[in-house]
Amino acid sequence: MATTTTTTTPTGWVDQAQYGNFQNALQLSQRPYAQYGGPTQAGWDPGQATAYNAIMNGAGVGMGAMQQAQGAALGAANWQPSQVAAQGYQPWMQGWQDTVAMNAGPAAQAGAAQMGRGEVGNVAAGQFPGANLNAYLNPFTGSVINTTLGELGRQNNILQNQSNARASAAGAFGGSRQAVMNSENNRNFLDVAGRTASSLNQANFGQAQAAINADQNRDLTAQQLNQAQDWNVGSANLANRQQSGLQNMLQANQMAQYNAGLAQTASSQSAAARNAALVAQAQAGNEAGKWNSDIGLKAGIANQLAAQSGADTRLKAASALSGMGLDEQRRAFNAADAQWQMGSRRQLFDQGVYDEGRNNWQAQRDYPLKQLQLLQGGLSGMSPGTMRTEPYYSNTGANILAGGLGAAQLASYLPGAMNGIGAAYNGLSGLFSNASQMPNSIYDAGAMGGEDLLASLFG
């Protein structure tokens, strides 16, 4: 499908005016950003700074006096009057001493004597796996076995020589029958030699095992006899210890009873003498206690009245001191507030001056842009020119040609789709009478670029 384009242009003076506006706009867009250099925000007035510092530091004004007042008031509030109580006295008769009955103490107990398990030896039966078997083996067994095997080997050699002689006499020396005979002789020799060595070793082991069992039985019997003797000796020692303990218990009990009697007599005499002295001391102490109690009560009442008067005086002074601290803090805050109000008015005036200067600067900076917008507004109703593109259709042969070219281009990207676009290639070839101008196959068409394919079709 082909297209056609229609273009309209504005009149000459409109085109020149629009171009001039574009040049002006381009020049304005390339102008660097202009930073305003004047002040933009009014800072604090000195009066505001002075008022701010006074307010921030004003929390501590008068705090010394108020803290002293709080401490004094707290002390007065926490004051507790001392309790005045009549001082009593304790009768001295509480020290009366009674006669204590002396006890002989618990009777000594005779403990039953016991025989410890360690006094009787243990009996442990020996086991064959733990015995030293080599110590019981016959040291001559090896010599007997070697001698016997040597004699069997000599007899086998004689037999082999006889067999070889018979084979040689029969003309069969070195044949397979001779080899079979020699092999059979050797097998019989090895069989007899193995049984003989095994029998001799078995006999030696049996003798050693019997000797070990005999020694272990004798050792077990000796241990049992020693254990029985340990038991007899331990039983005799146990009886002796029991008798000795009973005798010691009787002697200890008799001695404790005698000592208790002596102590009882001494305690009775000491209690009588001490009680007589305590009676005299109690009489004198009771008289002194009454007099001291009366004097202490009078002194306590006088001290309580004096402390109460001092607490009232401190509380009144604390209230007056707190009021003076609050007045000082209030005057400081009022003065700071007046300074802040005057400073704020001066700051507001300075900010108006700064805003006016910045607005004038912005108006001067934006004046060329407003002039450009004014000119552009005068051209807003003028036609800027148009361009329109519309499709148009040609004959069927050209459409088939375009389809064939598209199929060939597709074949260069999708080689596996050749069967599907063969029909498009056949349709192209039917439009040309000169077959030599066409590619040899659809694969050749796919391998060509678009320009090469057109050159092959149109020469």
Written as tens digits, the pLDDT of the chain (459 aa) is 567 776 666 666 777 787 888 888 888 788 888 788 888 888 888 888 888 888 877 767 777 877 788 788 887 777 777 776 766 656 655 566 676 676 766 777 767 777 777 777 787 777 667 777 777 777 777 788 888 888 888 888 998 888 888 888 877 777 787 788 888 888 888 889 898 888 888 888 888 878 888 888 888 898 888 888 888 888 888 788 888 888 888 888 888 888 887 887 878 778 777 777 776 777 777 777 777 777 777 777 777 777 777 778 877 877 887 788 778 778 887 888 887 888 888 888 888 888 888 899 888 888 887 887 877 777 666 665 665 666 655 555 555 445 555 544 544 544 444 444 454 445 444 444 444 444 454 445 444 444 454 455 445
> Distances from the Cα of 263 to the Cαs of 106, 252, 257, 271, 296, in angstroms?
16, 17, 10, 12, 46
CA 213 to chain centre: 66
CA distance 302 to 105: 59
| Pair 167, 173: CB distance under 8 Å | yes
Structure pTM?
0.28
Closest CA to 298 of 147, 455, 459, 85: 85
CA distance 347 to 46: 10
> Distances from the Cα of 71 to the Cαs of 76, 79, 313, 322, 365, in angstroms?
9, 12, 14, 10, 68
| Pair 407, 423: CB distance under 8 Å | no
